Amino acid sequence: MTLFESKPYDPVAARKKRNRIIVIIAIVAVCAILAWNFRHYPQEREVSKFFAALQAKDYEKAYGIWNNDPNWKQHPEKYSNYPFSNFMQDWGPGGEWGIIKSYHIDGSAVPKGGNGTTFDVGSSGIVVVVTVNERVADKAHIWVEKSDKTLGFSPY
């Protein structure tokens, strides 16, 4: 087949091909946007479970989520740096946030340095911002370690 013997132009086939390409590009764009928006979903879910346990006043479960160890009672000496008594002072009814009645995960981010570089700590975890008890001016900043999903107070 030579150039002069080629198939005649088919506008219907060309339109179908163009539409397929547009659909594929749209699907890839939507997938990229969803992947970007939910890139920290596992860490946000851990923080949500933590605050749900606090809201239910199940402080022992919340402490287990904080340390990512549901069986923490079997070896409490492992958590001597932040024992359950200190946890209750911070997160119990008499803590900074009081009794947790409501919470909302506002978002999360990897902390960046002032010069645009990531700190050593920033590459190992995510900061999740939470509105607690509808206190809009004062938000909780929870650090979630990427490697083991333990929680902590954000250094930022």
Q: For 106-144, write each residue's pLDDT tens digit.
A: 999 888 754 344 444 445 889 999 999 888 888 999 999
Task: Please check whether residue 97 is in contact with residue 132, taking contact to mean a CB–CB distance below 8 angstroms.
Answer: yes
pLDDT at 115: 39
Which residues span the domain enclosing 20? 3-37
Residues 55 and 11 in one domain: no
Summarised one tens digit per residue, pLDDT across range 58-106 is 999 999 999 999 898 898 888 889 899 999 999 988 888 889 999 999 9
Q: What sign for the dihedral angle of Cα 18, 20, 21, 26?
A: positive
Whether residue 29 is found in the same domain as residue 89: no
Residues 78 and 127 in one domain: yes
Task: Verify that 59 and 94 share a domain, yes or no.
Answer: yes
In total, how many domains does the chain have? 2
Between CA 115 and CA 50 the distance in angstroms is 33
Q: Which residues of 92-122 are buried (b: 16+ CB within 10 A; e: fewer)?
A: beeeebeebeebebeebeebeeeeeeeeeeb
Residues 21 and 54 in one domain: no
> For the whole model, what pTM was predicted?
0.78
Residue 154: which of 126, 132, 116, 135 has the closest Cα?
126
Do 124 and 70 lie in one domain? The reply is yes
Half-sphere exposure of 126 (CA within 13 A, CB side): 22
Please check whether residues 19 and 54 belong to one and the same domain.
Answer: no
Quote the Cα angle for 87-88-94, to 5°.
135
| Rounded-to-integer distance, Cα 153 and Cα 156, Å | 9
Pair 69, 108 in one domain = yes
Identify whether residues 89 and 107 lie together within a single domain. Answer: yes
